[in-house]
Structure 1
Amino acid sequence: MSEYQIRLYKDSDYQRVREIFSEGIIEHTTKAFQFSFRLPRIWVFFLLTFLLVLQTTGSLVMSTLAVVIGVGLLFLIHRYIYVSYVQYCLEDDMLDIHKYYLQRDGHCFWVAESSGEIAGMVAAVPTHHPGGERQVELKRLSIPRRYRGQGIAKALSRTVIDYARRRGCEEVILETSYPQVDAWRLYEKMGFKRVRTTSAPKLVAKLIGFQILIYRYNLPAHR
């Protein structure tokens, strides 16, 4: 197990932090695709596609090819969702990380460093959820593959919790998605409670079962 330290983000981290963020988001594509592929409505769609093409062409080969193409399109839809999200974030809060997170009240950004390399990242922002004046939102938690399983994600999450406590907040809020199983299992082990599950607003995302999970961590009342 490598040793690491958690510190504030600095400008020299910029390129690597953006890479870790992008890679961490896009890698969810496969798990999300596998989740959607198991949905009964997706199987019904492929079955109807097979039967329709078979009835139209009378060809088993063409019918099978149509289903294969459909599976490929399903994967590309998931890929598009994650890539689009990454592009949006890289042009939004991740465009000027120092200005967005370190020059605004209630915002902060940390990295975990191990042997001179970035071994993880996390951010805190004021939440947009109801009651946001007493909440901090945990965002952008990502750990490169080679550093996983060393407790870094937990330590970074604790950093945000401690930050919220110092600010006198009552709760830490976060959003994740259903395919990110390792992430939400970690949060639940740490004491985060799932308070809501919602579907993504876009119709395509709803059809493929893309779900957003909202978690809350209650901080002990100040005495």
Structure 2
Amino acid sequence: MSDYFLRIYKDSDYHEARDLFASGLKEHINTAFRHALGLTHVWLPALAMLTLPMLNLMSITTLILAFALALVALWFSARYMYTSYINHALSDDMLDIDKYYLQRDGYCFWVAESARGEFMGMIAALPSSNPGGEKHLELKRLSVVKQHRGKGVAKVLCRRLIDFARKRGCEAVVLTTTLPQRDACKLYDKLGFRLTDNYYYPKLLSRVVDFRILAYQYDIPAASQ
């Protein structure tokens, strides 16, 4: 017997849901930073700077300080890409979860709860706003509390959403995630989602740190006649 179950979101989940959403995304900041460090347009200028002390154009101390400042700026750039999105969501759909997801047709928000009453994870569904996606359902806000990962919670949440979409006559489930969210990408691959697009977040800074959005789609098989 499973030690957790899924249920519809309640107002008492509000603070845990918002906190999990924010903390879950912040976990990827360091991964995004390490990815940015490996970019050619980041490390190539850094290598070029190493020649400056040898040409007496910069002291070793100044070089070290410049490197340190560049690293700090790069980390804050990676951080900004996530925190700006978090702040937007917390003042948008995550501001009044009940009103946004439970009082509108085609929307829903589920919570995974342990047998002991612990908040374990969550997932949200809403009609896709993408052009040509009138019969597509969008998966959003999937996150699982760190100590409850590895128990199949995310997979069960996704399957609940897919079943919801199927019952509503949807043809596909779509979602977007970011490149550093590798575990999520692996999960979507295992569930049968396919990568359909790969593009930059609409901010100039996103190209500096290679902050890319990955779009996935799960095609719901047509019901047999």
TM exceeding 0.5? yes
Does structure 1 residue 183 correspond to structure 2 residue 181? Answer: no
Question: In the TM superposition, what is the alpha-carbon distance from 1:46 to its structure 2 partner?
Answer: 2.2
Aligned-residue RMSD, C-alpha = 1.7
On the 8 A contact 2:77/2:209 being kept in 1, the answer is: no
**Structure 1 counterpart of 2:97:** 97
The alignment partner of 2:166 has SS state of: helix
Report the count of equivalent residues.
223
Question: In the TM superposition, what is the alpha-carbon distance from 1:66 to its structure 2 partner?
Answer: 0.3
User: Taking structure 1 as reference, are residues 54 and 158 closer, same or farther at Cα in structure 2, changes over 3 Å only?
Assistant: farther
| Higher mean displacement: 15-24 or 51-60 | 51-60
The alignment partner of 1:132 has SS state of: coil
**Structure 2 counterpart of 1:116:** 117
**Structure 1 counterpart of 2:199:** 198
CA distance in structure 1 between the partners assigned to 2:156 and 2:197 by the alignment? 25
| Higher mean displacement: 196-205 or 170-179 | 196-205
**Structure 1 counterpart of 2:159:** 158
Summarize deviations over 1:124-147 as a string: whole Å, max 9, x none: 011122222110000000011100
CA distance in structure 1 between the partners assigned to 2:75 and 2:187 by the alignment? 26
CA distance in structure 2 between the partners assigned to 1:49 and 1:2 by the alignment? 57
User: Taking structure 1 as reference, are residues 50 and 104 closer, same or farther at Cα in structure 2, changes over 3 Å only?
Assistant: farther
**Structure 2 counterpart of 1:25:** 25
The alignment partner of 1:7 has SS state of: strand
User: Taking structure 1 as reference, are residues 53 and 107 closer, same or farther at Cα in structure 2, changes over 3 Å only?
Assistant: farther
- In structure 1, runs of 5+ residues without a counterpart are none
**What are the residue-to-residue correspondences of 1:1-223 with 2, within 5 Å?**
3-51=3-51, 57-114=57-114, 115-222=116-223, 223=225
- Please give the TM-score of this superposition, normalised by the length of structure 1: 0.95
More helix by share: 1
Question: In the TM superposition, what is the alpha-carbon distance from 1:57 to its structure 2 partner?
Answer: 4.8
On the 8 A contact 1:50/1:67 being kept in 2, the answer is: no
Question: In the TM superposition, what is the alpha-carbon distance from 1:82 to its structure 2 partner?
Answer: 1.1
- In structure 2, runs of 5+ residues without a counterpart are none
CA distance in structure 2 between the partners assigned to 1:25 and 1:188 by the alignment? 20
CA distance in structure 2 between the partners assigned to 1:207 and 1:46 by the alignment? 14
The alignment partner of 1:123 has SS state of: strand
The alignment partner of 2:196 has SS state of: strand
Summarize deviations over 1:169-196 as a string: whole Å, max 9, x none: 0100010011000000110011000011
On the 8 A contact 1:176/1:214 being kept in 2, the answer is: yes
CA distance in structure 1 between the partners assigned to 2:54 and 2:138 by the alignment? 51
| Higher mean displacement: 161-170 or 37-46 | 37-46
